[in-house]
Structure 1
Amino acid sequence: MTRLFNDPAAFADEALEGFVLAHRRWVRPVSGGVVRSVPAAPGQVAVVIGGGSGHYPAFSGLVGPGLAHGAAVGNVFASPSARQIRTVAKSAHTGGGVLLMYGNYAGDVLHFGQAAEQLNAEGVETRCLAVTDDISSAGAEDLDKRRGIAGDLPVFKAAAAAAEEGRPLAEVVRVARHANARTRSFGIAFSGCTLPGADHPLFTVAEGRMAVGLGIHGEPGIGEQDVPSADEAAELLVSALLAELPEGVDQARGQRAAVILNGLGDVKYEELFVVYRQVAGLLAEAGVETVDPEVGELVTSFDMAGVSLTLCWLDDELETLWTAGADTPAYRKGDARASAGRTDAAEQRDETAEAVPPATEESRAAARTALAALTAIRDTVDENAEELGRVDAVAGDGDHGIGMSRGSGAAHRAAAAAVEAGAGAGTAVGAAADAWSDRAGGTSGALWGVLLNAVAAALGDTDRPTARTVADGVGEASAAVRRLGGAEVGDKTMVDVLVPFAETLATATAEGEALAPAWDRAATAAEAAAKATADLVPRMGRARPHAERSLGTPDAGAHSLALIVRAVHGVLAAPTGR
């Protein structure tokens, strides 16, 4: 378990601060992550990687010459927000464009995709690539649905080495796609990890058993079997990867491969070497030539007792890029040394705070009501955070309660500051939206940011909001969440609650009901819809590989949304509500 921490909510920020202080030669801090302490040559493509905290050396430990130009780092097991990614990318950019790279998880896909859209709109040419190496998370017919685990490293490395050679953005993207297409990983685990402040792991495995096909966010494996010997574990890992060769690798014999035996946090180096001894022998028997193998902790999951094997099938181009020099805090190869550079805390670049736009007194009054609603949301989430985490852990990674608590708390603080500064309802709710997205990270952070921004746009800073105005904003929020996340009713997500809530609210207000009774009617529909998700199996997100496990349990995002809209009704129904 994680033993050394202060406030669990501050763990990721404090860990990143300490990391920077320990590695000033390589990195300097920027808002949302780190970039190289010495910028790359002008015109070089900037490779920016990222994801949640809890996976060190991924992602901040891989920033330096020959590897990433910057890393956007989110909260524990939660993607960084689009704003954080954009800030890191702009700090790393030297004129050659940006390639954003991350594991194929819903929250990362949403946030990095949003950041790319914003960067392109600002004139910074940006492309995205999600790593999809984990063979256990989807079948060979659904390669785009696979998640990224330790295969991140060879894919990141290939792209970064191509950038270091001075290749243009289109070529760097091509190399990254090529490396990703030829990379496969498979893992096993003997116990789950325990998040800072938690008193139990995200999943457990019975004594003498192990999980097969693990994720790196505390997701349980896709199956279980008896704990093997080290040689038997090696045989399982190697046989699983040799059973699925990428397109273009016709047979293993005569092929070359970059090999990574990765420890997930609680399997120590000597154990890994024992396993690698057999891995190397089995690959040699299969006629596979190993090239610059890596054995150690490269993509971890706090204290998870597990190990994964990655094979990146090389051709002449990929071998040159794999063996090229790199010099980062956690990964060094060949000759690519970082020069010393200043990394004073004062150098951290934050986006300039914008002045609060003018607002009418009617809108300021509505902002105070919105703040009261955000207070109720924060309190409701905090009261139910443990239960939300338990529900999420049935088939997911168990962090929904933590993420919602971070997000709702940050949203409340941002809105309170905006109201204090005289903001109208649109500005106050918009500030809450950005703060929720920044601090929660993950899929829910992105979606709640989009949801609240849609409501903020409808409220504006001029007029006193009417029931129809609010209903229209919620309707646009429902549409925006579906556009961004790609989910529809029946996929077992928050959309299963948001759609009936928005539709019922629209109907009630169109019939002339005041906002409070209309919201009550819509909240009742939301509660019924959330309960009904227990009968669904997930078709999206981290829970999808464990779909059957979630039967009988409601979706955590749907459940939290139902709790929230009911809490907001309490504010609207009060004498000061609108």
Structure 2
Amino acid sequence: MTRLYDDPATFSDDMVAGFVTAHPDRVRRVPGGVVRATRPRRGKVAVVTGGGSGHYPAFCGTVGPGFADGAVVGNIFTAPSAEDAHSVARAAERGGGVVFSFGNYAGDTLNFGLAVERLRHDGIPAHTVVVTDDVASAPAESRDRRRGVAGDFVVFKVAAAAAEEGYDLAEVVRVAEHANARTRSLGVAFDGCTLPGGDDPLFTVPAGRMGLGLGIHGEAGISERALPSAAELAQTLVDGVLADAPEAASGRVTAILNGLGATKYEELFVTYRTVARLLAEAGLEVVAPEVGELVTSLDMAGCSLTLTWLDDELERLWQAPADTPAYRKGTVAPTGPVEPDDDGDADAAAPDMAAPITVAAADGRAAAS
């Protein structure tokens, strides 16, 4: 259960306050969430992610060069308000427009959509990209009804890298939607999660069983199965995701084996050993995989497998460098003069990111979270 808190009613606000205090050189707090401490170049498309809290490092942990420009932070498992989304977007935007990306949940879709309308009324071009990667939440013919789970991470990263490269608003939207169309996820839970101040988990799984097809907001799985070995679980996840592979899929994928909050990294690595073998046997080459906690659900015990079928553009953007509090890949090299804030006050912690980002290493790992 979630044991460490002061006031359950202010848990998310307290978390953001501590997060910003821990990373003052990387993020700054604004009403509704956080934005980069280092201001990007003028004219860049701002990629703003968000949703309810409880998913760290999603969403605020991936704000930084090469990744998101800002993150809107709602209460635990609760969509942020349209006002908060508008506030964060205004703080993050640099003249190239705003792309909001988030998982497919009714409250998020409504409130981010309202924020887009407000931004457009302000004269700021804006668009939403909704992530729909969870194969368990709706059949293939109803993909637009599927939830966004750990596939959020891939879509956010690809969109952000495109914006960093200088894509315009329409092109950032295009490549983000393309990444979403090629991304599939399936997850399992061994135990539910407990909200701060709560005595009981949002759902329970009987001893010796697991829930298949869980959500990341404390939703139980759509079915139960006997608790498998790591190798058996790998087979279930790989079979479930490959059964829903996109049409005309390539033979190159990236893979994320994502921990949901209370599953040890060692367990994930044991499972990934078989995942990698099964994908190779299926004729797939895995590019720059990630194993670890990227989209969590408080203290939920479980994991999910995400595959994104790559083409040259998606592979380049997935492997592009990023430097955020919770996720780093390659080397980001900011250069340029201090960029004044729009009100004319120089922001000493905000150099202009006018120069391109360079890569010093081809692989990346999630920082400890």
Query: TM-score higher than 0.5 here?
Result: yes
Residue of 263, 268, 275 corresponding to 2:264: 268
Aligned to 1:315: 311
Counterpart contact for 1:64–1:338, Cα < 8 Å: no
Give the secondary-structure state (helix, strand or coil) at the position aligned to 1:89.
Answer: helix
Give the whole-Å Cα distance in 1 for the aligned partners of 2:240 and 2:3.
35
- Over alpha carbons, which structure has the higher Rg? 1
Aligned to 2:111: 111
Give the whole-Å Cα distance in 2 for the aligned partners of 1:144 and 1:330.
29
Instruction: Describe how 1:92-111 pairs up with structure 2 within 5 A.
Output: 92-111=92-111
Residue by residue over 1:304-336, the C-alpha shift from the partner in whole angstroms, topping out at 9 and shown as x without a partner, is 001000001000010000000000001100112
Give the whole-Å Cα distance in 2 for the aligned partners of 1:238 and 1:151.
15
Give the whole-Å Cα distance in 2 for the aligned partners of 1:285 and 1:322.
23
Aligned to 1:279: 275
Counterpart contact for 1:25–1:338, Cα < 8 Å: no
Deviation at 1:337, TM superposition (A): 4.9
Aligned to 2:187: 187
Q: Give the counterpart letter for 2:276 in structure 1.
A: A
Counterpart contact for 1:47–1:68, Cα < 8 Å: yes
Instruction: Describe how 1:448-467 pairs up with structure 2 within 5 A.
Output: none
Aligned to 1:127: 127
Give the secondary-structure state (helix, strand or coil) at the position aligned to 1:292.
Answer: coil
Give the secondary-structure state (helix, strand or coil) at the position aligned to 2:287.
Answer: strand
Aligned to 2:68: 68
Aligned to 1:239: 239
Give the whole-Å Cα distance in 2 for the aligned partners of 1:333 and 1:33.
24
Please state if 1:177 is matched with 2:141: no
Aligned to 1:292: 288
Residue by residue over 1:15-35, the C-alpha shift from the partner in whole angstroms, topping out at 9 and shown as x without a partner, is 010000111121000000000
Give the whole-Å Cα distance in 2 for the aligned partners of 1:302 and 1:167.
35
Deviation at 1:14, TM superposition (A): 0.1
Deviation at 1:79, TM superposition (A): 1.0
Give the whole-Å Cα distance in 2 for the aligned partners of 1:80 and 1:261.
27
Please state if 1:77 is matched with 2:77: yes
Please state if 1:198 is matched with 2:194: no
Percent of aligned pairs with the same amino acid: 64
Alignment size in residue pairs: 339
Counterpart contact for 1:65–1:337, Cα < 8 Å: no
Q: Give the counterpart letter for 2:323 in structure 1.
A: D
Give the secondary-structure state (helix, strand or coil) at the position aligned to 1:72.
Answer: strand
Aligned to 1:469: none
Give the secondary-structure state (helix, strand or coil) at the position aligned to 2:71.
Answer: strand
Q: Give the counterpart letter for 2:317 in structure 1.
A: L
Aligned to 1:138: 138
Residue by residue over 1:28-82, the C-alpha shift from the partner in whole angstroms, topping out at 9 and shown as x without a partner, is 0000000000111100000000000100000000100000000000001001100
Residue by residue over 1:72-124, the C-alpha shift from the partner in whole angstroms, topping out at 9 and shown as x without a partner, is 00001001100000010010000000000000000100110000011011101
Give the whole-Å Cα distance in 2 for the aligned partners of 1:282 and 1:87.
45
Give the whole-Å Cα distance in 2 for the aligned partners of 1:167 and 1:298.
25
Instruction: Describe how 1:347-426 pairs up with structure 2 within 5 A.
Output: none
Give the whole-Å Cα distance in 1 for the aligned partners of 2:101 and 2:137.
19
Give the secondary-structure state (helix, strand or coil) at the position aligned to 1:170.
Answer: helix
Deviation at 1:247, TM superposition (A): 2.6
Counterpart contact for 1:327–1:338, Cα < 8 Å: no
Give the whole-Å Cα distance in 2 for the aligned partners of 1:94 and 1:164.
12
Q: Which has the higher strand share?
A: 2
Aligned to 2:34: 34
Higher relative contact order (CA 8 A, sep 6+): 2
Structure 2: runs of 5+ lacking an equivalent: 339-344, 346-369
Residue by residue over 1:491-517, the C-alpha shift from the partner in whole angstroms, topping out at 9 and shown as x without a partner, is xxxxxxxxxxxxxxxxxxxxxxxxxxx
Please state if 1:159 is matched with 2:184: no
Counterpart contact for 1:67–1:160, Cα < 8 Å: yes
Aligned to 1:334: 330
State the TM-score, normalizing by the size of structure 1. 0.58
Give the whole-Å Cα distance in 2 for the aligned partners of 1:6 and 1:309.
34
Aligned to 1:470: none
Deviation at 1:248, TM superposition (A): 2.7
Give the secondary-structure state (helix, strand or coil) at the position aligned to 1:56.
Answer: coil
Structure 1: runs of 5+ lacking an equivalent: 342-346, 348-578
Aligned to 2:208: 208
Give the secondary-structure state (helix, strand or coil) at the position aligned to 2:110.
Answer: helix
Give the whole-Å Cα distance in 1 for the aligned partners of 2:314 and 2:300.
31
Residue by residue over 1:362-387, the C-alpha shift from the partner in whole angstroms, topping out at 9 and shown as x without a partner, is xxxxxxxxxxxxxxxxxxxxxxxxxx
Give the secondary-structure state (helix, strand or coil) at the position aligned to 1:187.
Answer: strand
Aligned to 2:55: 55
Give the whole-Å Cα distance in 2 for the aligned partners of 1:247 and 1:278.
25
Aligned to 1:12: 12
TM superposition outliers: structure 1 runs of 4+ over 2 Å: none
Q: Give the counterpart letter for 1:319 in structure 2.
A: E
Residue by residue over 1:129-153, the C-alpha shift from the partner in whole angstroms, topping out at 9 and shown as x without a partner, is 1100000000000000000000001
Q: Which has the higher helix share?
A: 1
Counterpart contact for 1:109–1:130, Cα < 8 Å: yes
Q: 1:135 to 1:338 in 2, by over 3 A?
A: farther
